A = this chain, B = another copy of it.
Amino acid sequence: MTGIGIDIGGTNTKLLVADEKGNVVSVSRFPTEAEKGPEDFVKRLSSAVAKIKKENNVSPLAIGIGAAGDADPETGVLRYAPNLKWRNVPLTGPISEATGLPCVMENDANMAAWGAYVMELGRKPCNALVLTMGTGIGSGIIINGSLYHGATGTAGEAGHLTLEQGGRLCNCGRRGCLEAYCGSVGIMRRAAEAIPDQEAFIKKYNPGGIFDPYTLSKAYEAGDSAAIKLWHDTGRYLGEGLANLILLFNPHYVVLTGGVSKSRDKFLPAMKEVFKGQPISTPFEKLEIRASDNPELGSIGSALFGLEQL
């Protein structure tokens, strides 16, 4: 039994075929070309699905879409996708019609959460908060073993919890969001302020690289004091933000995923320090922190969540 997970990126659309255990069967891509409009996109997507079936000799049973934006899981309408500049586009209906396969859509962080729930937590009935730490920060919530949507499918905007009133400007337009401190863009903005000569910094710690969290991690490992402070602060900010989430949600698990989470050995100690200082201690005592380095977690989650609806 296989399903297709679809990730509609600003440049390319990725189709991943996975079996019900999350094993990846194939990955392929075609140019999204969002400017041609949703109808044209659905046609090309349908052709891509047909091609995958033939080339891999598979018969996927369902499609799951992880949308970067505001997706309505009930109606299958993509309310807003900033990377595609689409608004209020009915998507699952036309895709289902064109491909003959049932199709579901969720926010991409929700799909990553489902992937983490199946792959990392083994579908244990539990409450879990999954944080996707990439350019920005997203989150998905598992409650009693089910993906939690909220009233409009927008639950889990953890990246936009206010950490500092009037703080750093976030991509969303508000100030002080968790994402503005702990997404990779936010981290590197803080780093740019602390490290004036970035060229020298790159040359010293990651020759040929760029000014990014990876270089910052290399610098940390070499004992650079600015890098150590930056990762420490990242842990402290993340700890303050997560503490709020934990006081509210009281999850069994927090699962960290995404590029930034690869540097977790550098920021987790400061994060756990924040947890230790909490006066309401019960929800922190039983909490287990996990991580997933699976780069395809979101797409696998989409494929699995599609199959889940059968």
Q: Mark A281-301, 1 if CB is under 8 A from B, else 0.
A: 011011100000000000000
Q: Mark A140-174, 1 if CB is under 8 A from B, else 0.
A: 01010000111111111110111111000000111
Report the minimum CB–CB distance from A71 to chain B (whole Å): 10
The residue on B at minimum CB distance from A129 is B248
Report the minimum CB–CB distance from A186 to chain B (whole Å): 16
- Which of B143, B156, B286 is close to A248, meaning CB atoms less than 8 Å apart? B156
Asked if A282 and B248 make an inter-chain contact with CB atoms under 8 angstroms apart, the answer reads no
Residues of B within 8 A of A70 (CB): 280, 282
Q: Mark A241-258, 1 if CB is under 8 A from B, else 0.
A: 001110111111000000
Range of interface residues on A (Cβ < 8 Å): 35 or more
Asked if A161 and B244 make an inter-chain contact with CB atoms under 8 angstroms apart, the answer reads yes
Is A240 positioned at the interface, with any CB of B under 8 Å from its CB? yes
The residue on B at minimum CB distance from A166 is B164
Report the minimum CB–CB distance from A139 to chain B (whole Å): 8
Is A50 positioned at the interface, with any CB of B under 8 Å from its CB? no
Asked if A280 and B151 make an inter-chain contact with CB atoms under 8 angstroms apart, the answer reads no
The residue on B at minimum CB distance from A285 is B152
- Which of B127, B152, B250, B286 is close to A286, meaning CB atoms less than 8 Å apart? B152
Residues of B within 8 A of A164 (CB): 165
Is A190 positioned at the interface, with any CB of B under 8 Å from its CB? no
- Which of B152, B156, B174 is close to A282, meaning CB atoms less than 8 Å apart? B152
CA distance A92 to B161 in the complex (A): 37
Known A-B contacts A157-B280, A165-B164; the reply to A250 vs B151 at CB < 8 A is yes
Known A-B contacts A79-B282, A279-B173, A280-B160; the reply to A150 vs B249 at CB < 8 A is yes
Is A25 positioned at the interface, with any CB of B under 8 Å from its CB? no
Is A126 positioned at the interface, with any CB of B under 8 Å from its CB? yes
Q: Is the interface of A mostly helix, strand, loop or mixed?
A: loop
CA distance A141 to B143 in the complex (A): 12
Known A-B contacts A250-B152, A280-B157; the reply to A162 vs B245 at CB < 8 A is no
CA distance A163 to B160 in the complex (A): 13
Known A-B contacts A79-B282, A244-B161, A279-B173; the reply to A249 vs B152 at CB < 8 A is no
- Which of B141, B148, B163 is close to A165, meaning CB atoms less than 8 Å apart? B163
Q: Which residues of A contact B (CB under 8 A)?
A: 70, 79, 126-127, 141, 143, 148-158, 160-165, 172-174, 240, 243-245, 247-252, 278-280, 282-283, 285-287
> Can you list the 6 inter-chain pairs with the closest CB atoms, starting with the nearest?
A150-B250, A155-B250, A173-B279, A157-B247, A151-B252, A154-B283
Q: Can you give 21 contacting A-B residue pairs, CB < 8 Å?
A: A70-B280, A70-B282, A126-B151, A127-B150, A141-B248, A143-B143, A150-B250, A151-B283, A152-B250, A153-B250, A154-B280, A154-B282, A154-B283, A155-B283, A157-B248, A157-B280, A160-B280, A162-B240, A162-B244, A172-B280, A248-B249
